A and B are shown apart, each in its own frame.
Chain A
Amino acid sequence: MSAALLTAALAPVLSAQATDSASPGDPLLNIAIFGAFVAVTMVIVFRASRNNKTASDYYAAGRSFTGGQNGSAIAGDYLSAASFLGIVGAIAVTGYDGFLYSIGFLVAWVVALLLVAELLRNTGKFTMGDVLAFRLRQRPVRIAAAISTLVVSFFYLLAQMAGAGGLVSLLLGIEERVGQSVVIAVVGGLMILYVLVGGMKGTTWVQIIKAVMLIAGAGLMTVWVLALHGFDFSRLLDAAVATTGNPAILEPGLKYGLSDVTRLDFLSLGLALVLGTAALPHVLMRFYTVPTAKEARKSVVWAIWLIGIFYVFTLVLGYGAAALIGPERIAAAPGGANSAAPLLAFELGGPVLLGIIAAVAFATILAVVAGLTITAAASFSHDVYASVIKKGTATPAQEVKVARITVVVIGLVAIVGGIGANGQNVAFLVALAFAVAASANLPTIVYSLFWKRFTTRGALWSMYGGLGSAIILIALSPVVSGAETSMIPAADFAVFPLANPGIVSIPLAFLLGWLGTITDRRREDPAKQVEMEVRSLTGVGAEKASAH
């Protein structure tokens, strides 16, 4: 049904565009395959939503997923269009530096596995705010946690929705803005429907299906590319050098090695990636969808395997795109470097494989945006509405109702933002989301789990200091002004030279958390600290799975 709706909504746009299609494939085929994905996932979401009764069902899928399922969903959530299209494209165009970028995304999971997942699962309920509010003062830390969650989710969301515009022009051959806006609105509308109806359970299934499609598709292409080069990686590299005529693509430096500023910038980005992942609110929330801390651990193990294998695939695919297509054709295609993976799919398997990869790319945006939306809605409804505004007197039904309204509001904001940001240079927003998560969230999470003395004031200094410094620095960076590629190229108030604020804002947030605490005369309740520590390590009294 929804597939038919989608095709109907797009038909006029497509027929108008069919003549000067910029897509190498067949837009109708691409839409048909994506429509099939939507239809299948919609059926699953509707079936899954039958059991959505309580807040625990809506936010945390009744804590009923297994580690394997949740790990696949984490991979589906994490491997966004930026990772898939972006990293393959980055390797195809800038060679080794694209791979360098992807390694940080993987190593980061060690922090999630060792420091965060299990302890968080044992002490919280639905949101990051739960963990902080365990022994710190409710109101202020919940408000701070909700603000930081909403900011990170909004940046990430905007980047995904804006990326959808570029993808549309590449995959559907729609080049005019009105047509692209219609598609962004359709994607946003579908997302709202999924989250509204399916809650966390539906969102999780969308992510699982998408992760399987993405990893299977990337795996197929990887084997295919290697087969074309006699399963000899060295021969593939030779072919890439021959096509590009540039042996430097095998070494680091083409993108980040240009100057001392770019080198420092990469260090700053790397820091934000490895420390930000374990504090991304939509990743944290996924740890609550499993019944025990042990399953949370298994989730991360699954996620690490899937994500790690996927990034090895992207190395082959990136050099494969460089060898079989070449950087000139990639740069000339609509969407630029993002078109490397779809072009490679077309080169290998013609319109059908391109159609599948196109559907995967759309499904990716849909799944990631859905995960972000339910996280932001849960944070607003649970931390701000139920705990701060209603002071814990809201019924679960009221809380879920507010969450659903928030989903619609966030969905509409995402659509409007996505249409507005379409064509703007907003690629920095993903990196900024990681930097904010690493600065505003990670220090406070680590301190509250591992440092007895940590106080509310330390948490607030660290969260607001990390959040504020990351955003102020980015506003004063060349990303916003002072360069041709800036958002505001005409003005120049770029006094901070780096495009990634993490190298300053992360240590600053750790420092502020420490300073705010040691200068605080007020002590937190020691009984709560004892209980939190014992609970976090043993799982006593942790939220159980609901009995459906």
Chain B
Amino acid sequence: MGDAPREHDSHPSDTGPQPLDIEAFRAVQASAPYVALRRRHRLFVLPVTAACLLWYLAYVLVAGYAPQVFAITVSGSINLGMVWGLAQVVTTFAVTMTYVWYANKHLDPAAAEIRAQLETGAAPTATTTEVTA
């Protein structure tokens, strides 16, 4: 294909969407698998984000307004502040891995199925972005 600009680049799709079959999207949005997918996605990401932010807020507030709590000795010269700080790192890692597990199990398969359905039968024009290759 050489130097010729590819199709989708020549309409910098700055209108975002390509010509679309809106009815197909509407049908999907109302379908049970999609509603379930959206629910599972939001039920995970919104509360978990909020919990992580609150957990961090608690850490910052205690550090600022109750530093004597951080000074409590845990082992040798290691105090509660060090442990709590490292616990923030550990919980961040844990949330990350949990989300990856959750998405692989509960989000990706459903999303792939809906995508396949939209890209093949249900919505012939929705695939115009792929004329590239």
Instruction: Say yes or no: A394 contacts B93, CB within 8 Å.
Output: no
Q: From residue 71 to 114 of chain B, which have CB atoms closer than 8 A to chain A?
A: 71, 75-79, 81-82, 85-86, 88-89, 92-93, 95-97, 99-100, 103, 108, 111, 114
Q: Within 8 Å CB of A538, what residues of B?
A: 28, 34, 37, 111, 114-115, 118
**A308→B89 contact, CB < 8 A:** yes
Interface flags, A251-293, vs B, CB<8A=1, else 0 = 1110011000001001100100010000000000000000000
A290 vs chain B, min Cβ distance (A): 15
Contact with B along A528-548 (1 / 0, CB 8 A): 101111100111111110110
A55 CA to B7 CA, complexed, in Å: 11
Subset of 12 A-B contacts with CB under 8 Å: A96-B85, A100-B60, A103-B56, A238-B76, A301-B96, A305-B96, A308-B93, A534-B28, A537-B38, A539-B111, A543-B8, A544-B132
Task: Chain A residues near B119: list those with CB within 8 A.
Answer: 540-541
Is A404 among interface residues, defined by CB-CB distance under 8 A? no
With both chains docked as a complex, state the minimum distance between the C-beta of B70 and any C-beta of chain A, in angstroms: 5
Residue of A528, A531, A533 with most chain B CB atoms under a 10 A cut-off: A531
Please, which residues of chain B bring their CB within 8 A of the CB of A253?
Answer: 67
Asked if residues A134 and B14 are in contact (CB atoms below 8 Å), the reply is: no
| A111 CA / B50 CA spacing, docked (Å) | 9
State whether the Cβ of A184 lies closer than 8 Å to any Cβ in chain B. no
A84 within 8 A of B: no
Q: Which residues of B are found within 8 Å of A531, using beta-carbon distances?
A: 17, 20, 22, 25
A382 within 8 A of B: yes
For the complex, what is the distance from the CA of A241 to the CA of B77, rounded to whole Å?
10
- Structural contact, A305 and B93, CB atoms closer than 8 A: yes
Indicate whether A99 reaches chain B with its CB closer than 8 angstroms. yes
Interface size class, chain B: 35 or more
Q: How many residues of A are in contact with the other chain, CB < 8 A? A: 80
Tell me whether A211 is interfacial, beta carbon within 8 Å. no
Using known A-B contacts A530-B25, A534-B25, A543-B8, determine if residue A250 contacts B3 with beta carbons closer than 8 Å. Answer: no
In the complex, chain B residues whose CB is within 8 Å of the CB of A394: 12
A447 contacts B by Cβ under 8 Å? no
Q: Is the CB of A537 within 8 A of B67?
A: no
Confirm or deny: A425 has a beta carbon within 8 angstroms of a beta carbon on chain B: no
CA distance in complex: A538, B53 (Å): 27
A100 touches B16 (CB 8 A): no
In angstroms, Cα B5 to Cα A305, docked, is: 38
User: What residue in chain A is nearest B63 (Cβ atoms)?
Assistant: A252
Q: Which residues of B contact A532 (CB under 8 A)?
A: 16-17
A residues 372-399 touching B (CB-CB < 8 Å): 382, 386-387, 392, 394-397, 399
Asked whether any CB of chain B lies closer than 8 Å to the CB of A294, the reply is yes
**Cβ–Cβ contact B126 & A541, under 8 A:** yes
**A-side contacts of B26, CB under 8 Å:** 527, 530
If A233-B78, A396-B12 are given as contacts, then 7 extra A-B residue pairs at C-beta distance below 8 Å, sorted by A number, are: A56-B6, A96-B81, A107-B92, A304-B96, A312-B89, A539-B111, A541-B128
Chain A residues whose CB sits within 8 angstroms of the CB of B85 once the complex forms: 96, 99-100, 103, 315
Inter-chain contacts of B75 with A (CB < 8 A):
234
Contact of A274 with B41 at beta-carbon distance under 8 Å, contacts A392-B15, A543-B8, A543-B129 already known: no
Closest to A124 in B: B16
- Is A457 among interface residues, defined by CB-CB distance under 8 A? no
8 A Cβ contacts from A82-123 to B: 96, 99-100, 103-104, 106-107, 109-111, 113-115, 123
Is there contact, CB below 8 Å, between A547 and B133? Answer: yes
How far apart sit A172 and B54, CA to CA, in the bound complex (Å)? Answer: 44
Q: Which 3 A-B pairs have the closest CB atoms?
A: A234-B76, A134-B16, A237-B77
A125 within 8 A of B: yes
Q: How far is the CA of A199 from the CA of B130 in the complex (A)?
A: 24
- Whether the Cβ atoms of B126 and A56 lie closer than 8 Å is no
Chain B positions 48 through 61: 1 when the CB is less than 8 Å from some CB of chain A, otherwise 0: 11001100110111
Residue of B nearest to A95 (CB): B81
Give the interface SS of chain A, mostly helix, strand, loop or mixed. helix
The interface of chain A, by Cβ under 8 A from chain B, is 53-56, 96, 99-100, 103-104, 106-107, 109-111, 113-115, 123, 125, 130, 133-135, 138, 142, 232-235, 237-238, 241, 250-253, 256-257, 263, 266-267, 270, 274, 294, 297, 300-301, 304-305, 308, 311-312, 315, 382, 386-387, 392, 394-397, 399, 450, 527-528, 530-534, 537-544, 546-547
In the docked arrangement, what's the CA distance between A234 and B77, Å?
A: 5
Which residue on chain A has the smallest CB distance to residue B55? A107
B89 touches A106 (CB 8 A): yes
Is B81 within 8 A of A252, CB to CB? yes
Contacts of B95 in A (CB 8 A): 110, 113
Q: Could you tell me if A294 and B108 are in contact, using CB atoms closer than 8 angstroms?
A: yes
| Chain B residues within 8 Å of A106, by CB | 88-89, 92
Q: In angstroms, how far is the closest chain A Cβ from the Cβ of B39?
A: 11
Report the bound CA distance from A138 to B12 in whole Å: 13
Residues of B within 8 A of A241 (CB): 77
User: How distant is the Cα of A17 from the Cα of B91 in the complex, in angstroms?
Assistant: 49
In angstroms, Cα B71 to Cα A456, docked, is: 49
Taken together as a complex, chains A and B put the C-alpha atoms of A257 and B64 apart, in Å, by: 6
* CB <8 Å contact, B92 and A110: yes
> In the complex the two chains form, is B38's CB within 8 Å of A270's CB?
no
Q: Are A399 and B93 in contact (CB under 8 A)?
A: no
Is there an interface contact between A540 and B14, defined as CB atoms closer than 8 Å? Answer: no
- Chain A residues with Cβ under 8 A from B63's Cβ? 96, 100, 252, 256-257, 266
Residues from chain B with a CB closer than 8 A to the CB of A250 are 71, 77, 79, 81-82
Residues of B within 8 A of A396 (CB): 5, 9-10, 12
Q: Check A110/B100 contact, CB under 8 A, given A56-B9, A544-B130.
A: no
With CB as the reference atom, state the residue of chain A lying closest to B30: A530
- Cβ B25 vs Cβ A251 within 8 A: no
- A266's partner among B9, B16, B64, B111 (CB-CB below 8 A) is B64
Q: Please, how many angstroms separate the alpha-carbon atoms of A396 and B13 in the complex?
A: 11
A107 contacts B56, C-beta separation under 8 Å: yes
